[in-house]
Amino acid sequence: MARLHLFDLDGTLLHGTSAPREISRQLGLEAETVALDRAASEGRIQPPEYAYQVHALWASLTEEHVTAAFEGAPWLARIREVWAEIGGRGEYCAVVSLSPSFFVEKLTGWGAHAAHGSRFPALPFTEPVDPAGVLSAAAKVVIADRLCAEFGVTREDCVAYGDSASDKDLFGAVPVSVAVNADHHLASIATHSYAGKDLWDAYELVRHAR
């Protein structure tokens, strides 16, 4: 039976940072986004409010900024190699993140079978954020179920990789999970834990796990 590997982005595939932080770095607004990331991680703001605030920060954002942020970000090593191996085994890999879809979806170019993020308006922004398109921890499970149906697998065939509270719901819904550079709160509910900068080493922990 094929498996579906579900990857978080911020703090998981990206080491020690988030997509919004890397995007904001291109605009000289990293400090403001670090503060927003902290507020979100501490539960002081919820995903829709976070999206509203970064949308306001990114008034001058262009596709060129996003491409530069993507290409210059501190990615874990061997992401493409892991996804190629997963695909070669007849399995599937997807990225599900609360970060903007215009960044997340670039990972299909690296071999992800699917990539889902919070929906933002087209760049450059001329419209507000629709809160209905902003993802949450619970939405990750909904998307995982939709992907299971698309790929012909079940939750029992899923492996989740994540680092933070936004991954807790998904970790609770699937049988195998890898806490990647995560704090003890997530690590305590994961079936496996990894600390480092190479995705292959994290994948190796569950490569043959069922």
Residue 210: per-residue pLDDT: 65
The segments of the chain whose pLDDT lies below 50 read none
**Second-level CATH architecture of 4-15+74-204:** 3-Layer(aba) Sandwich (3.40)
Instruction: Tell me how far CA of residue 62 lies from CA of 6, 21, 102, 147, in angstroms.
Output: 29, 15, 11, 30
Residue 206: per-residue pLDDT: 96
Phi and psi of 158, rounded to 5°?
-100, 150
- Type and span of the H or E element at 114: strand 114-118
> Would you kindly state where each structural domain of the chain is located, as residue ranges?
4-15+74-204
**β-sheet with 176-180: strand ranges across:** 114-118, 92-100, 4-7, 158-162, 176-180, 192-194
Q: What SS3 state is found at 26? A: coil
